[in-house]
Amino acid sequence: MHADFQPCAYIMASARYGTLYTGVTSHLIQRICQHRDGSFDGFTKRYGVKTLVWFELAGTMYGAITREKQIKNWQRKWKIALIEAANPDWRDLAEELGLPPLGG
């Protein structure tokens, strides 16, 4: 397995209580950078969803995809509760992973 390969499900937000996006990746830092710089056309680019507010590592891609699908089927209030249980201030967790602050 490649050293950078780490399956995870994640939630990005446009702002606190803003637009949410649930995704899955095997390289979280790279994916966050893609969301931030707009290299993905589509939902996150259109709605300015650039802040990592929650993520969960998984042992396999199958596990990460299963978790992503589960969360995508949740009601919005459940997703907000999940975020706030781990990140009540809606901090940009990407900064804790070594990325610079948004806009900085």
**Under DSSP, is residue 30 helix (H, G, I), strand (E, B) or coil?**
helix
DSSP state of 60: S
> What's CA 63's distance to the chain center, in Å?
16
pTM exceeding 0.75: yes
Write out the residue range of the structural domain in which residue 27 sits: 8-97
CATH code (residue 22): 3.40.1440
pLDDT means per 10 residues, the chain with 104 residues, are 79 97 96 91 92 97 98 98 98 96 81
Give the count of domains, the chain.
Answer: 1
The two beta strands, 51-57 and 8-13, are: antiparallel
Inter-CA distances, 59 with 56, 63, 102, Å: 10, 7, 29
Is position 54 within any domain? yes
57-82 b/e with 16+ CB inside 10 Å = b?
Answer: ebeeeebbeebbeebeeeeeeebbeb
pLDDT at 3: 55
